[in-house]
Amino acid sequence: MKVTEHISNAKGKTLFSFEILPPKKGEDLQNIFSNIDPLMEFNPPFIDVTYHREEYEYRELPNGLIQKIVTRKRPGTVGICAAIQQKYKVDAVPHLICGGFNKEETENILIDFNFLGIDNILVLRGDPIKSEGIFKPHSHGHSYANELVSQVQNMNSGKYLHEEYAHGATDFCIGIAGYPEKHFESPNLDTDLNYLKQKIDAGSDYIVTQLFYDNTKYFEFVKKCRNIGITVPIIPGIKPVSIKKHLTILPNIFHIDMPQELVMAVEKCKDNKAVYEVGIEWTVNQCKELMKQGVPVLHFYSMGRSENIRKIAKQLF
């Protein structure tokens, strides 16, 4: 079932969902299941599975030359989605990115998703390769997420890259990312909202936001979206603080502000055990306010850990 159908069927009730990371190469799939199992009591209608770009490693050969090697440290998004749908009977939402793929490879993976009965896709431009610093698209791929959305939407209309090999039309529900505090590459929020509108106009069906800790940022973002004609569901992304280092790590990685009240509460903690409890309390209060305002879904970024999310959900659902 489509994410938008789940939201419609809930008739105003806030749903629970979460995102997982594929395990690192060589790890057991059971690692995924052990993090999903504790959260199934809250009846998530869908679970997101991230996709991670290739990385470059440089290794010195016996002759002294340096060899550039391409590696994927977290493969398996397609297989994990299939396993989730088979084991838990819930919709898996794979992430699909621009980086590292040409248009034909993108089409092929979309055909695979369709064969597997996957109804939803979260379309993203994706991050740059860590060693490069700036995003570089594939020479025969997409530079921006709205272009990728258009390719998915074309397939939904039965339009493939090579008509002579055309299959039937797909019917993907397309999610995209939104940034309440703007994408770090955008000069300002209004410009970023214009880019978001381009993705909507290309055929996107719903938005999932970057994590945030100040609800006013989300509410203002939603208002601005509505003012420019964006009417699709806007799902807030939630990430509990759990260690002191999050005060520097999260703003650095995700380019977000953290409320001073939260910062002071974490700084007063004697150890990470206390930070963990502060994070739970803050997130519960944050989510209660969001639910009171009728958000369609609370979408948690689990980062491979589910215990604190389970404790939070226990107080909400």
Q: Residue 73 in contact with residue 25, Cβ under 8 Å?
A: yes
- Given the residues 5, 19, 27, 267, select the one marked as catalytic: 19
- Can you name the residues that pair with 60 across neighbouring β-strands? 66
- DSSP-assigned letters across all residues of 229-253: T--S-EEEEE----STTHHHHHHHH
Rounded Cα gap, residues 7 and 87, in angstroms? 22
- Neighbour count for residue 216 (Cβ, 10 Å): 11
CA distance 146 to 196: 8
The DSSP H or E segment spanning 52 is none
Query: Residue 98 has which token pair?
Result: 């621009």
**Does 19 participate in catalysis according to the annotation?**
yes
Q: How many CB atoms lie within 10 A of CB 131?
A: 10
Amino acid at 156: N
Active site residues per annotation: 19
